Amino acid sequence: MYANVLVLAPEGRLDHDNCAAFHSALDRHLEETGNVAMRGVVFDLSALEYVSSAGLRCFMLAAKQARVHGGRILIAAMQPVVSEIFEISRFNLILDAFPTVRAALESLSPESARAYDQA
């Protein structure tokens, strides 16, 4: 957590086999975005090697859920393969992506970027 932004960093592969578990875990975190102080969630995907269609859908559902609470979901630091999959599936058009976690935090709130710099 950096100030009012939660950073989550899934690792490995996110596919049909584990997306249900990922979605449940995500739900618990996203409930926290209901907290008025929370501005959103940044997914640090620097350790994510692969994402399937089912995994992409989890990100989209997370973004929808966060919007209900007035929060945002941002994607950051994708590996090249994951970045290509986002483009081919056109998920780059429906989710905001940033080259670094810091850039994503800066977009959500200056406080979170400062907290990240000081960490």
Chain residues binding other proteins by CB under 8 A are: 16, 19-20, 50, 52-54, 56-57, 60, 81, 84-85, 87-91, 93-94
Q: What is d(CA 91, CA 58) in angstroms, rounded to the nearest whole number?
A: 12
Q: Which is closer to other proteins, CB of 13 or CB of 102?
A: 13
**Residue 35 Cβ vs other proteins, minimum distance, rounded to whole Å:** 26
Q: Which is closer to other proteins, CB of 1 or CB of 94?
A: 94
Q: Which is closer to other proteins, CB of 3 or CB of 56?
A: 56
At 33, which amino acid appears? Answer: T
Tokens of 37: 């102080």
Query: How many CA atoms, within 13 angstroms, populate the side-chain half-sphere of residue 71?
Result: 26
**Residue 82 Cβ vs other proteins, minimum distance, rounded to whole Å:** 9
Longest Cα–Cα distance of the chain, Å, equals 37
**Residue 16 Cβ vs other proteins, minimum distance, rounded to whole Å:** 7
Distance of alpha carbon 62 from the chain centroid? 8
